[in-house]
Chain A
Amino acid sequence: MPSRSSHSPAGRPDQRGCQEFRSLMARVSRRHAVQAGTFGALGLSLGDMLRLEARGEASNEAFQTTKGASSSTPAKAMSVIQLHLGGGFPQHESFDPKPEAPVEYRGSFGVVKTKNGDVFSDNFPKTAAITDKISIVRTVVGKIPDHGLATYHLFKGYTPTAVIDYPAMGSIVSHELGGRGELPPYIAIPNQSAFVGGTGFLSSTYGPFELNADPGQKGFKVRDFSIPEGVPLDRFDRRKKARDLVQRRIRAMEADPATLDTMDDFYKSAYTLLTSKDAQKAFTFEGESEDTFKLYGNDTTGSVRGPDGKYHTKGLAERLIMARRLVEAGTRFVTVTYGSWDSHVDVKKSCLEQMAPLDAAIAGLITDLDQRGMLDTTLFWLTSEFGRTPKVNGDSGRDHWARNYSMLLAGGGIAKGVIHGVSDSTGGEPARDAVPLEDIQFTIYNLLGVDANKELVAFGTRPIEIIKDGNLVKGILS
């Protein structure tokens, strides 16, 4: 069981968010891209050979599935790009602005008309112009307004319990569908959100591959991702052969075979990634035009300075372009994190700083996927662990609110041009068509062709449904 000691709220919130959320952000901002040599020119024939060997199927015998009414239909989506806005994204300042609510409730900005005849906060002009390609759910209902617990719920479909640690959606998709090519099926850009924790009762084989480097930073290069110069492929192959030889003894001991499988699977994946030209290329921006970067708004900045005194884009455009490239190369589930949204103090400033690049990048990604013919098979999902209180607090901020908030979904079998659910007059409770978070997750699994009613077997014997009591959100299906 991972730590649940984040349970108790601690410290006073300030502009950077409450104490708990700041702890999380401290970890993210301290990451630096680490250089790891250059991409060597690879002799293809030998590399291909290694790779073919390396792609031997991982054995999944530890986890069988058991009964459960099937909910699955033929897959529409092949991949998911989840853009996660950690901290609690304000629904009033984005997709549910409530312009007629009393001033202490209403969104802090004006509104902009959407292409399908509704209104968004005017922070989202570009997204408003492509609402014919996306769906908005305005009545998502979460459970717990606590960063740790709600992030867990969002990524895993369950709230934490004392006995079972659940796997994240990306891990389950990895487990159920595997990869579509040489790339890891589940990738986190640049890193997994700190509150998500491990792979639960699934082996860490199904954990996300973290880039450990931010595509939005200059000189971006995935860490530890190329064969060192001076080690020709025949030597690399010799190393692999020697390692296989050493592995035999511990294999013969039959101690913890699942752990041994996991380790060997990782080495197989590592050989593949290091020796495949396509895999290496997917993790760079090779061949991307300047127009593409512009389309995603890499030059769009916020209109106020961030805490570091600069106007900036924070690299979202590059992260999403990377996500698209990875999906193109066969990754099933990519999570991208962006920004710091825990605006207990001055929600308006937080939005002015971060929303313009967000708007541009969302619209850019949807347009790009559409132009490339990938939108029908790629599901884009904009998430946050919860929304924010309908009433603005004494510090001009909004606090945590899980009872009603908004999400944006597009592509991969999601309806085009739908605004689903109506919140009450202040945006605090669903008035019509409430959508429990589990139903969104259930629907995404369904579109991927994963039967979310299916039971996975934890600890060898204990059956656990992928999503418990989920329902299809029919209103957002195309």
Chain B
Amino acid sequence: MHNALRSRTWLLLWIAVATLASGLLTAAGAAASESADAPSFRRDVMPVLFRAGCNAGTCHGSARGKDGFMLSLFGYDPKGDYARIVNDIPGRRVNAAVPEQSLLLLKALGAVPHTGGKLFDKDSDLYKTLFRWIEAGAPDDAEAVPQVVGITLPKESVVFKKIGGHGVARVTAQFSDGTSRDVTSLARFFSNNPSVATIDADGKVTAVAPGDTNVFARYSRFTVGSEAIVLPPEEGFTWPNPPANNFIDTLVFDRLQQLRIIPSDLCDDETFLRRITLDLAARPPSIEEYHAFMADTKPDKRAKKIDELLAADAFADLWATIWSEHLRIIGGNYAPQATHVKAADVFQEWIRAQMRSGRPLNEFVADMVASSGSNLSNGPANLYTMMLHQVRVEPKPLAADFSQLFLGVQIQCAECHNHPFDRWTMDDYYGFVSFFTGIKRKNGIEPRERRIYFDTSVEPAKHLVDGRPMPAKVLGSVEPVGGDGDPRKALAAWLTSPNNEMFSRNLANRIWAQLLGRGVIDPVDDIRVSNPPVNAPLLDALSKRLVEVKFDLRSLVREICNSRIYQLSSRPNASNARDTRQFSHRHLERLRADTLIDSVVAVTGVPRKFEGFLTGTRAIDVYPKTSGDTAGPHYGDPFFHTFGRASRATVAAAETKLEPTLSQALHLAVGDSVRDRLTAGGVVKKLIETKSTPEDIIDELFIRTLSRRPTTEEMTGMRELVGDDVKDQAVYEDIFWSLLNSTEFLFNY
């Protein structure tokens, strides 16, 4: 009862704010639309087409239209839409003489066959607006009509304390003449997770089940969201008040407490050691490291271990490979693509040197963005060979990959229409493409060499709708960067500036996701209005911190790893077992392909040869080399393919696949990675020679493979398997096999 009351208060408040906002500001708009004047095409008719879904991508908004009638997607081209509706087939779509015979109306009413079916009734406002417009002669707008400059919802967040609770999201649109009006009846709505909260066509939000999601309203080219939280019952919930190690814990705990989710306990030392070593050094801890860490009784031993691993080369090498995957380094021998093995080596080595030296990430990126010169001697210039793997530099795909990688934003939708679920317009897109239109390559001194340069005589990209040239301009800006030289210097400066939150948030989110298995925004490379962070204060703080530490990778990683959140156990409790996105407990994550094979090598002591690399090279240092063309997916090794290492065919984060498959189980069970290594490294043989009891051998095999002691049950069971012949190599190899094939070995947990 108490809950219900409180919930209602919340909602009333929410609606009250909404009403207040619209009540104050909508007078002008409402008066205009009810006046005797004919409806305006842009202000009144276009919104009807949007609301009824006529110009959606699946209907007439598709690139070729539908059933012979095309509209611009979500109305990005009102002028063209006017021509297609009124002038294309005079007298048919709109018939000013007999308005009710207009096809536009008949189709929408379902009075004549219409693939889209019936969209509204004759007594609806949508119908009346269209009718009055046609009746008035379907006039085009004589003068500029105020444009929508933004839309708002009354609250950024609404909390439901009870399933079935509801409220209404009223949408207010702001116009370029300074007026506002309530456009709820003309907006479209959707929920990111209708199983938590639904939103209907009138903006009514209903709580369905405990959880958190976002509901969105769309109007004109704008999308705006509001968080919807549905709380689980308060009974039985007591916040345990766990200690916070740093700002990360404070912010995640705030969120969990708000959502009534109890975090898991801290993980034990064995688990921590294995987790941190896999995450920072891409290998399991050695036996010596295990014993040293377990014997250490100092309270700060975890922090010290983190520092030790951060200082080691393996940390830098892992991040060099992560960047190498994103930047799509593949070495070939097909000269026109400028991606010869030698160029790949130079680029990879340059990246590794930056990571090892602790180069600030913004400087690292800026170097690449502004670079020119030889692909064989100037490593960073290979941003303009490897990202593309094409014979010519194609500015559009380059711009798309560039923004996806460095900003986490996918702007390519805006090539043909304003981004339907984000703020990017076609102006943004073409202005951004123009940073790359002048990038060219010319032949170098030797056949493998290409020199990257910017040709300032090349015209900027042209806008798709009206063909006007769009000089280089950064995303979200109105003015071009100007100047008549290479605009990439301005691009690099803007991109990597401490003031560019898009950049620092993207990097912070990617670093977080690498360590926690999931981004605060996930997927990390699809940041948009309709894919908001699950914990906005956390992402803001991580991003701010990255700027404060001057883009030092190790500093942010150190902070994350020292948080209690990073060190939580993967054992869930009743309250958090269903949580998959609020970092309430650690999730099982299969090891990356390279880390996995390196782990097998480390544990068995038998190296693995990779094509084109010296024996003994770790998988984490290997990138694909091919004898031919470097376009398309390349894995560099069948193991990498089977275990889902990024194929480097795209910059997408989803290239790295961690899902288990049957082929992986078969490969580990009988394939050559484990099969021959059980014996070849002599691990078992040496243990039989040096250890006095079967228990000691079993104990060491567990520590070696899983970085933990066997449980009593495991020890008893394994001892039984060994039986009387305590020097039988085969049985220990079988135990070794079982450890290497266990889920614990394959996963970080």
Name A's B-contacting residues (CB within 8 A): 1-8, 10-11, 19, 22-27, 30, 34, 36-37, 143, 162-163, 184, 194, 198-199, 204, 207, 209-210, 212, 223-228, 235, 238-243, 245-250, 253-256, 259-260, 262-264, 266-267, 269-270, 273-274, 403, 459-463
Contacts and interface: CB of A to CB of B under 8 A. Distances in A.
Given A204-B659, A239-B737, A254-B571, A26 B742 contact: no
B659 to A, nearest CB: 4
Contacts of B400: 5, 7-8
A267 B665 contact: yes
Interface in B360-398: 388, 390-391, 394, 396-397
Nearest to B411: A8
Given A22-B632, A245-B714, A459-B580, 5 more contacts: A19-B390, A26-B631, A27-B633, A262-B660, A266-B660
Given A242-B738, A459-B195, A162 B421 contact: yes
25 contacts: A1-B526, A5-B401, A5-B412, A5-B651, A22-B631, A23-B631, A199-B659, A204-B660, A207-B661, A224-B663, A224-B667, A239-B734, A242-B734, A243-B737, A243-B741, A243-B742, A246-B706, A246-B738, A246-B742, A255-B570, A266-B662, A269-B665, A461-B195, A461-B211, A462-B195
Contact of A259 (B577, B588, B663): B588
> Which 10 pairs show the lowest CB-CB distances between chains A and B?
A26-B632, A3-B652, A242-B738, A23-B632, A461-B195, A266-B665, A27-B633, A204-B659, A224-B671, A255-B570
B633 A194 contact: yes
B660 A462 contact: no
Contacts of A194: 633, 649
Interface in B624-672: 626, 629, 631-634, 638, 642, 647, 649-655, 657, 659-667, 669-672
A163 B192 contact: yes
A228 B571 contact: no
Contacts of B739: 246
Contacts of B653: 3
Nearest to A198: B659
Nearest to A34: B638
Which of A210, A212, A270 has the most chain B CB atoms closer than 10 A to its own CB?
A: A270
Contacts of B665: 263, 266-267, 269-270
Contacts of A256: 570, 587-588
B20 interface: no
Contact of B669 (A3, A143, A267): A267
Nearest to B528: A162
A365 B519 CA distance: 48
Given A3-B654, A22-B631, A163-B192, A11 B394 contact: yes
A22 to B, nearest CB: 6
A2 B735 CA distance: 38
B675 interface: yes
A263 B746 contact: yes
Given A24-B632, A25-B632, A248-B713, A269 B662 contact: yes
A209 B633 contact: no
Interface in B704-741: 706, 711, 713-714, 717-718, 721, 730-731, 734-735, 737-739, 741
Nearest to B530: A162
Contacts of B415: 8
A296 B270 CA distance: 59
B737 A224 contact: no
Contacts of A34: 638
B11 interface: no
A224 B666 contact: yes
A17 to B, nearest CB: 11
Nearest to A165: B654
Nearest to B196: A461
A456 to B, nearest CB: 13
A212 B706 CA distance: 30
A245 B571 contact: no
Contacts of B659: 198-199, 204, 207
Contacts of B664: 266
A149 to B, nearest CB: 11
B321 interface: no
B326 to A, nearest CB: 12
A121 to B, nearest CB: 26
Nearest to A267: B665
B744 interface: yes
Interface of B: 58, 64, 192-196, 209, 211, 388, 390-391, 394, 396-397, 400-401, 404, 410, 412-413, 415, 421, 523, 526, 528, 530-531, 570-572, 577-578, 580, 585-588, 626, 629, 631-634, 638, 642, 647, 649-655, 657, 659-667, 669-672, 675, 706, 711, 713-714, 717-718, 721, 730-731, 734-735, 737-739, 741-744, 746-747, 749
Contact of A23 (B523, B649, B744, B749): B649
Contacts of B195: 459-463
A240 B659 CA distance: 22
B156 to A, nearest CB: 20
A228 B663 CA distance: 16
Contacts of B586: 255
A199 B412 CA distance: 26
B718 to A, nearest CB: 7
A147 B46 CA distance: 32
A3 B58 CA distance: 21
B654 A242 contact: no
B670 A36 contact: yes
A250 B743 CA distance: 8
- Best-surrounded residue of A24, A245, A248 (most CB of chain B within 10 A): A245
B738 A5 contact: no
A255 B571 contact: yes
A11 B194 CA distance: 40
A27 B670 contact: no
Nearest to B744: A250
Contacts of A209: 661-663
Contact of B734 (A162, A223, A235): A235
Contact of A242 (B211, B651, B718): B718
Given A224-B666, A263-B746, A238 B421 contact: no
Nearest to B731: A238
A320 B31 CA distance: 70
B670 A227 contact: yes
Contacts of B737: 239, 242-243
A4 B410 contact: yes
Contacts of B713: 245, 248
Contacts of B413: 7
B666 A23 contact: no
Contacts of B744: 246, 249-250
